[in-house]
Copies of this chain bind each other. A is one copy, B any other.
């Protein structure tokens, strides 16, 4: 099953039915569960877990023309936790500590930073850029050319579009700045720019840019107030910007945002 072009680290677990192509590198302590297909030129860095029946290094369009797999390397960073049945294309790079749900699709020429999470059924199209500590929940569609910066939260069933006059060949991706929050089921129209710490309400249809620290809701979405006006239902305390009130999984989880940030600047 494993050919001579594969480089295997120490303590690698490969369960039954896994298929491994050529020029594959699997570093130490990687665990590959039942029935995965690892196509050519995939590099899985140390400590990563690849869930059952995931397909890594999936074919790009050129394969289908002549059934010859060209060099389209995929790199999966250290300590990934990829759940079952993900399909991740070649020519993509994923940073360290990545986590995904089940049945996620990530296409080619996409770059994902460190500590990113992508939920079950989400579909990340090609030529996207996703930053560090980005959390994308279940069944989000991220269209081609989207640029998502760091610490962004995207909740279930959000759709990020890119074609102002469909069908066309002139796509304009959406940009989402650091710390922005896109609530469930909202739609971002082509080319909109969501600024830092903005909050897009559930089900909003966002047709225009949304300013920094601003809440936008409705169809079409309208800016209604500063995020600083939103109170926690239980405590009555200010919630946003969330970096000051939420720390689970964040680099400031052991202290607080300000302490951590000041430590960085030293």
User: Which A residues fall within an 8 A CB radius of B?
Assistant: 13, 16-17, 19, 31, 34-35, 37, 49, 52-53, 55, 58, 64, 67, 81, 84-85, 87, 101-103, 105, 120-121, 123, 135, 138-139, 141, 143, 153, 155-157, 159, 161, 163-170, 172, 181, 183-185, 187, 189, 202-203, 205, 218-219, 230, 232-234, 239-240, 242, 245-246, 248
- Residues B202 and A161 in contact, CB atoms below 8 Å apart: yes
Q: A167 CB to closest chain B CB, in angstroms?
A: 5
Q: In the bound complex, what is the Cα–Cα distance between A59 and B250 (angstroms)?
A: 24
Q: A243 CB to closest chain B CB, in angstroms?
A: 10
Contacts of A67 in B (CB 8 A): 13, 31, 49
- Residues A167 and B81 in contact, CB atoms below 8 Å apart: no
- Residues A181 and B203 in contact, CB atoms below 8 Å apart: no
- Quickly give the copy total for this chain: 3
Contacts of A163 in B (CB 8 A): 155
Nearest B residue to A61, CB-CB: B81
Q: A224 CB to closest chain B CB, in angstroms?
A: 12
Q: A69 CB to closest chain B CB, in angstroms?
A: 12
Nearest B residue to A235, CB-CB: B170
- Residues B123 and A123 in contact, CB atoms below 8 Å apart: no
Nearest B residue to A242, CB-CB: B167
Contacts of A141 in B (CB 8 A): 138-139, 156-157, 184
Q: A150 CB to closest chain B CB, in angstroms?
A: 14
Q: In the bound complex, what is the Cα–Cα distance between A135 and B139 (angstroms)?
A: 20
Q: List 24 A-B contacts (CB under 8 A).
A: A16-B19, A17-B17, A31-B67, A37-B52, A49-B64, A55-B84, A64-B81, A101-B105, A103-B103, A105-B121, A135-B167, A155-B163, A155-B166, A159-B185, A165-B230, A165-B233, A165-B239, A167-B242, A168-B246, A184-B187, A185-B205, A203-B219, A218-B219, A219-B219
